[in-house]
Amino acid sequence: MITMSGIRNAFWCAIAFGIVACASTPMPVEKLAVAKSSIERAEQAQAAQFAQIELNSARNKYAAAQAAADKHDAEVAARLADQADVDAQLAESTARAKQQAQLVNEMDASLRDLRNETLRKDSSGTATPQPAPQPQ
């Protein structure tokens, strides 16, 4: 038989369950902020030019994380924010590495040009041309 005390206990159990369910997975606000910051750093490193695929992946995952957070799906939002952060870090590192490689190639070309110019000036026979070292 249902008694007033049983109804009251069921009501309090439902309230307690609701509170625990809401408090169990907080929204990943900090993870979203970290991912957004990583994407901004990648953009400043010119990832749009040098690592477009990685940057687009980070942006897409960040947008999906925000959508999940808007739907109050904290676990999915946290996971996607973490993935967006990692993709943005990869985009930044890739962009910086490609910029460094481009700078090395430009320096090698400048050194080759300088060597060739020196050899042309010395072609009167006053200097023996030295073979250019091969890039490693």
Strands (E), 43-131: none
Rounded to an integer, what distance in angstroms lies between the CA atom of residue 100 and that of residue 132?
22
Express each pLDDT in 43-71 by its tens digit: 999 999 999 999 999 999 999 999 999 99
What's residue 24's pLDDT? 57
Rounded to an integer, what distance in angstroms lies between the CA atom of residue 73 and that of residue 102?
43
Domain boundaries, the chain: 26-119
What's residue 108's pLDDT? 93
Q: Which CATH number fits domain 26-119: 1.20.1270.390, 1.10.10.60, 3.40.50.1820, 3.40.1160.10?
A: 1.20.1270.390
Would you say 10 and 22 are in contact if contact means Cβ atoms under 8 Å apart? no
